[in-house]
Amino acid sequence: MQRSIIYTSLRNLLKDNIKWIFNLDIEEVTINKQISLPPKPEMGDMAFSCFLLARELKKSPQMIANELSMKMIFSEDDIFKKVEQTGPYLNFFLNEKNLSKAVLICSKKGSLTKPFEKKQDKIMVEFSQPNTHKGIHIGHIRNMAVGDSLIRILRHTGYETISANYLGDSGAHIAACLWHYEKSKMENTNNSEKGEWLGIVYTEAKKYLEENPTEKNNVSKVQKLLENKDPYWICLWNETREWSIEYFKSIYKWLDIHFDVWFYESEEEEPGKVIVEEFLNKRIFKYSDGAVICELEDLPLAIVLKSDGTTLYSTKDLALAKRKFEEFHIDRSIYVVGDAQSLHFKQIFSILKKMGFKQADKCYHLAYGMVSLPEGKMSSRTGNVVLFSDLKKSMNEYIYESYLDSKKDWSDEKKKVTSRKIIVAAIKFGMLDQDVKKNIEFRMEDWLSFEGDTGPYILYAFARIQSILRKSEKSGMEIEPDFDNSHLLTMSEEKYVIMDIQEFPDIIEHVANDYCIDELCKYLLKLSKDFSKFYHNCSVLKADRGLAAARLQLIKAVSEILKTGLNLLGIDPPEEM
């Protein structure tokens, strides 16, 4: 339930008055359900509908609204000052002076942006999971953006968190890549990063195999050699695997994404086989057509070991889940994985439960929709991809051409740093501002045009605030800590900003509970838009001294919230743009 100043005050006001006028005790959650915003701002600041009360009191909602509006009493220091009835609705008007004061006191104490109280639960979020020997493309970035942001949000809301990566460093795709690498003697002519180049080798291998299907036998041979730990191929595997890992690490660093633990598929194969053996003995698993399966109540049966005795994705996921529970003692386990694997995870969680892990109930598959290109589905097999490095390059060029080149007084280093921050913001915000479960289509032009509902828009609002703050400091207009003028903030532009900022903790709480990161994005956009309107209509530096001080406090609060909110999305805003 919302704990913000406005919601709490309105709930209390309604509860007290309903008790007093109708002698009815009504639960806070019931009141909460009926609180909304009026359709138009001039109708009021907050609304309450009387439909549920009508049921309780056996009167028409209109009559109840009318009676409440006539008899309701507001105290001098309440943040609401009056109410108007419109049909079954009550529209409340805020007392701007009291509201501003109350909200800015909170902001000054830092209570709007500080991390929440520590919680008991330990949560692991597994994300990214790239395959070695393949390239990183924009589809992978959505996963990274979601997982990283979720970790940051959960940490902020007080959970102990572990961010986990899980590398696909075994399997057929590697055999194909290494086989082709050996056979074709391909050279890294572009001198691109070795790890990325491996991805190109892999794509070439797949193309070649499409045209020469008979060669697939040779790939299988390599795979067998790898599984049998043939020294030559293992050596090559080790070396190239390192290239991929270095490549991934450079991307994570650039995107400011961190992992607390790294898991590897190659390390879960043997433990996986042990688990299969154990639960065959316990009769939880059984043989079927030579493979090992687990039958489930409401789901299709799952195969947990292939008939040739080799492991599957599921084998390794079971082993890893066990490790997560037993070695890391986690209470909740979140898997950020594409929605194509929904059934797989339903099965895994169900099997874990059969295996006796109580934590299975606290496993959650955060399924995200795929990123596609206007030309169709992306695939590293067919090479229909936008590699991350290319994306980075073209965005960088765009930013320089359209804007940074004109900053004659900026150093090259400053331009470089700023460009990176803007690109990160554009990419991550683009990935996060839509419902995570929906497929998104990546259009280069839209991402490169930094207009409208984008990360850079928010960055720009933040940068403008920093500019005002810098100028105010220079001119000696520093905020005196004990001096409070917030009651002077009564203009509608100021009120909307105030209303936004007091809502921030509620937003975070909601986002952390429902994993709806897009709502944080939408909130930050709204705050930025409301700030921009304020910026155009209410000058800070040209205002009278007292008002200027109050407005400085206000924009400082906005700035802190923007920064905190952006950081929760994995975005670090530049001080200047």
List binders of RNA among 232-271 (CB under 7 A): 265
Q: Which is nearer to RNA, 47 or 524 (CB)?
A: 47
The span of 20-28, 33-41, 191-199, 387-395 binding RNA (CB under 7 A) equals: 33-41
The span of 235-243, 277-285, 286-294, 387-395 binding RNA (CB under 7 A) equals: 286-294
Q: Which is nearer to RNA, 162 or 547 (CB)?
A: 547
Q: Which is nearer to RNA, 162 or 463 (CB)?
A: 463
Q: In this structure, are residues 100 and 487 in contact, taking their beta carbons and an 8 Å threshold?
A: yes
The span of 12-20, 241-249, 285-293, 389-397 binding RNA (CB under 7 A) equals: 285-293
Q: Does 301 bind RNA (CB under 7 A)?
A: yes
Minimum CB separation of residue 440 from RNA in Å reads 5
Figure out which of the listed residues 95, 113, 131, 203 binds RNA, where binding follows CB under 7 A.
131
Q: Which is nearer to RNA, 139 or 155 (CB)?
A: 139
Q: Which is nearer to RNA, 8 or 341 (CB)?
A: 341
* H or E segment to which residue 148 belongs: helix 138-156
Figure out which of the listed residues 218, 434, 492, 567 binds RNA, where binding follows CB under 7 A.
434
Per-residue binding letters, 398-427, with RNA (x by CB under 7 A)? -x--xxx-----------------x-----
Q: In this structure, are residues 222 and 233 in contact, taking their beta carbons and an 8 Å threshold?
A: yes
Closest CA to 258 of 366, 388, 149: 149
Rounded to whole angstroms, the Cα distance separating 386 from 41 reads 44
Figure out which of the listed residues 307, 326, 393, 397 binds RNA, where binding follows CB under 7 A.
307
User: 311 by DSSP, 3-state: which?
Assistant: coil
Minimum CB separation of residue 377 from RNA in Å reads 5
Rounded to whole angstroms, the Cα distance separating 69 from 64 reads 8
In the region spanning residues 57 to 76, those forming contacts with RNA, defined by CB under 7 A, are none
Minimum CB separation of residue 190 from RNA in Å reads 27
Figure out which of the listed residues 184, 188, 220, 467 binds RNA, where binding follows CB under 7 A.
467
Q: In this structure, are residues 157 and 504 in contact, taking their beta carbons and an 8 Å threshold?
A: no
Per-residue binding letters, 336-375, with RNA (x by CB under 7 A)? ---xxxxxx------------------------xx-----
Rounded to whole angstroms, the Cα distance separating 577 from 575 reads 7
Q: Which is nearer to RNA, 168 or 570 (CB)?
A: 168
The span of 214-222, 272-280, 440-448, 495-503 binding RNA (CB under 7 A) equals: 440-448
The span of 45-53, 67-75, 219-227, 562-570 binding RNA (CB under 7 A) equals: 45-53
To which residue do tokens 């001294």 refer?
545
Helix-helix angle 172-184:216-227, to 10 degrees: 110
Minimum CB separation of residue 280 from RNA in Å reads 13
Q: Which is nearer to RNA, 231 or 300 (CB)?
A: 300
Figure out which of the listed residues 291, 296, 417, 479 binds RNA, where binding follows CB under 7 A.
291
Q: Which two structure tokens, joined as six digits, stand for 496?
A: 């909307």
Other CB atoms within a 10 A radius of the CB of residue 550 amount to 25
Q: In this structure, are residues 313 and 344 in contact, taking their beta carbons and an 8 Å threshold?
A: yes
In the region spanning residues 497 to 536, those forming contacts with RNA, defined by CB under 7 A, are 518-519, 522, 529, 532-536
In the region spanning residues 176 to 205, those forming contacts with RNA, defined by CB under 7 A, are none
Size of residue set near RNA by CB under 7 A: 84
Rounded to whole angstroms, the Cα distance separating 109 from 510 reads 22
Minimum CB separation of residue 315 from RNA in Å reads 8
To which residue do tokens 């180049």 refer?
197
The tally of CA atoms less than 13 A away on the side-chain side of residue 128 is 27
Q: Does 49 bind RNA (CB under 7 A)?
A: yes
Q: In this structure, are residues 176 and 209 in contact, taking their beta carbons and an 8 Å threshold?
A: yes
Q: Which is nearer to RNA, 123 or 319 (CB)?
A: 319
The span of 40-48, 230-238, 473-481, 558-566 binding RNA (CB under 7 A) equals: 40-48
Closest CA to 388 of 28, 563, 140: 140
Minimum CB separation of residue 181 from RNA in Å reads 19
Minimum CB separation of residue 372 from RNA in Å reads 8
Q: Does 19 bind RNA (CB under 7 A)?
A: no
The tally of CA atoms less than 13 A away on the side-chain side of residue 57 is 22
State the DSSP string of 241-289: HHHHHHHHHHHHHHHT---SEEEEGGGTHHHHHHHHHHHHHTTSSEEET
Q: Which two structure tokens, joined as six digits, stand for 340?
A: 């194509």
Task: Provide, for the chain, the percentages of residues in helix, strand and coil under a 3-state DSSP scheme, each rounded to the nearest 5.
Answer: 60, 15, 30
Rounded to whole angstroms, the Cα distance separating 80 from 97 reads 10
Q: Is 558 exposed, middle or buried (0-12, 13-18, 19+ CB in 10 A)?
A: buried
Figure out which of the listed residues 147, 195, 456, 565 binds RNA, where binding follows CB under 7 A.
456
Encoded amino acid at 87, one letter? G
Minimum CB separation of residue 288 from RNA in Å reads 3
> What value does the CA radius of gyration of the chain take, rounded to a whole number of Å?
29
Figure out which of the listed residues 224, 437, 544, 546 binds RNA, where binding follows CB under 7 A.
437
Figure out which of the listed residues 135, 147, 168, 570 binds RNA, where binding follows CB under 7 A.
168
The tally of CA atoms less than 13 A away on the side-chain side of residue 247 is 26
Rounded to whole angstroms, the Cα distance separating 343 from 540 reads 55
Q: Which is nearer to RNA, 83 or 123 (CB)?
A: 83
In the region spanning residues 530 to 569, those forming contacts with RNA, defined by CB under 7 A, are 532-536, 538-542
Minimum CB separation of residue 543 from RNA in Å reads 8
For residue 559, give Cα distances in angstroms to 464, 493, 575: 10, 16, 11
